[in-house]
Each structure stands twice: as structure tokens, then as C-alpha cells.
Structure 1
Amino acid sequence: MAALCYRTTKSGKDVLMITSRGTGRWIIPKGWPIKGKNGPESALQEAWEEAGVADARITSAPQGSYHYVKERDNGTRQPVETLVYIAEVQRIKDDYPESDQRKRVWMPAQDAANLVREPDLQSILRQL
């Protein structure tokens, strides 16, 4: 589950990008489904833990999905399909669980699309 978090500005929509913990590349908040939570709730939980999103309106259905390869702690690689939910951010906090492990930046959606590796995620960002 992933949360494509955005805010509307005078010049268009900015998305909230974060760095991955391992490689430091730019990604959107994402993670595994959380027991007891549906897709949007799981995506919002990841957005809180990884990016400090404290309040957001999220779509009930995914906008799309993208594939990537997850490198596990034991060195194995696992292909993953991630559903992307669109979240309009109302409030973020500076103190959140992974604030000392990641950078976060608001940027235009087109710029974000140019930074991510996954073609399907690039397409979702460009459609925003």
C-alpha cells in the first residue's frame, strides 16, 4: 500500500516525497498491508510513520499500482506490486516515527515523476 500525498499550491499540485532508508532514493510512503486496516488505512499509517502526515483525505480506491523489487534484510529480492492511494494532506508534523531516518520534500508532481525509477509510478505522478 502506498500513499501519494499531495497539496494544492498556486502553481499546481505538489507531492510529498521521502527518501528510502537503504539507498536514499526518492519514493512515496509505502509498506505492507496492516492487519486490521484496509488499503487506504494502511497507506495513511505508512504516510504517518514515514513522512509525518497527521491528517489527510484519502481515496477509497487505488489510483493505480506499480511494481518494484524489495531487497530483504537477508539479501533476497522479492517482486512487489503496490497499490497507490491518493491522499490530500491537511496537516503534517515534524516529529514522527521515522523523522531521523528519512528526508522529506514537497515538490511539483512532474519533478517527482522524473526522480522515481518505476515507470508505472511515474505515470501516476504525471496524471496528478
Structure 2
Amino acid sequence: MTPVEGRYQHSAALPYLIQPDGLKVVLITSRKRGRWIIPKGEIEPDLTAWDSAAKEAWEEAGIEGLIATEPLGTYAHQKWGSTCTVQVFPLVVTQLHRAWQEDHERERRVVSVAKAYKLVEMKSLRKMLGKFEKWLNL
């Protein structure tokens, strides 16, 4: 938890699949409040921001995939009595595992972007979802 310029640096994966019925994203619930979010965590010192995000996707959601090395964007998140800056990296899902490290602590759902927009409470994360289809050129 090392602050950089008074902020904690986090990264997140925005897992997605393109299915016959359209673009889908994968959401998980937060552990404490059960809110719908995307996998995220502190950037580990020995990993790049995108590799750290991919690791969070595996641990928190049982997702493997190919992660972008350029972020979709960033958002601010209040945590630990400070502001965390979260870089969001799109991750195309190649495998959703039935069991994973935090499966007993979190729910996981594959939903349309429109449904995700309704489920996600955090305005800054909804803003990321709004930018996502444009980023994909869909």
C-alpha cells in the first residue's frame, strides 16, 4: 500500500467476451458490500499495471485471457481513507474457470454492457463501461 503523490495506485481488468448475441462483460461482487464491480487491486511492485490486473482477474474471478497493455482509462476510488487511482485494462476472456481462489467470497456474472451499467453502482466505473464499446470500435 505505497502511496504515490498521496494516492494509491491500483489496476483493474475489464473482462469481456464477444458472443453471438453481442458484447458481454464479466462482473464480480465486492467482498464486503456485495456491490457489482470488476476485478481490481493494488499494483504489485514486481508486475506491470496490466499484469497485476490480469492476476486480479484470475484470483477474484477465475478468468484467464489476453489483456491490453494500454488502459481504457482511469477512475478515482475511495479506499483506506485515501483516493486510489485505478487504471482499467480491457481483457478478452479465453477461459472462465468453474472454481477459483475467491469463488467462495464472490459472485460472478457474464452480462451485456447495458445490464452491467444497471448493476454497477459506482458512477466512475459506469463511465468506463460507457467508453468501452467505443474503445472496441463496436
Q: TM-score, normalised by structure 2?
A: 0.83
On the 8 A contact 1:110/1:126 being kept in 2, the answer is no
Deviation by residue 1:70-106 (Cα, 9 ceiling, x = unmatched): 2x4xxxx222110000000001212211010000000
Q: Match of 2:52? A: 42
Offset at 1:39? 0.9
On the 8 A contact 2:35/2:121 being kept in 1, the answer is no
Q: 1:106 aligns with which of 100, 106, 110?
A: 110
- How much identity, in percent, do the aligned residues show? 34
Distance in structure 2 (CA, Å) of the matches to 1:66 and 1:44: 18
Q: Match of 2:70? A: 61
- Letter paired with 1:83: Q
Offset at 1:11? 2.3
SS at 1:8 equivalent: strand
Offset at 1:17? 0.3
SS at 1:41 equivalent: helix
Distance in structure 1 (CA, Å) of the matches to 2:62 and 2:30: 14
Work out the number of aligned pairs and report it.
122
Offset at 1:33? 0.5
List gaps (5 residues or longer) in structure 2: 1-10, 133-138
The alignment yields a C-alpha RMSD, in angstroms, of 1.2
Distance in structure 2 (CA, Å) of the matches to 1:66 and 1:116: 14
Q: Match of 2:82? A: 78
Deviation by residue 1:42-97 (Cα, 9 ceiling, x = unmatched): 000000000001x2111111000111212x4xxxx222110000000001212211
Distance in structure 2 (CA, Å) of the matches to 1:111 and 1:92: 19
- Letter paired with 2:53: A
Q: TM-score, normalised by structure 1?
A: 0.89
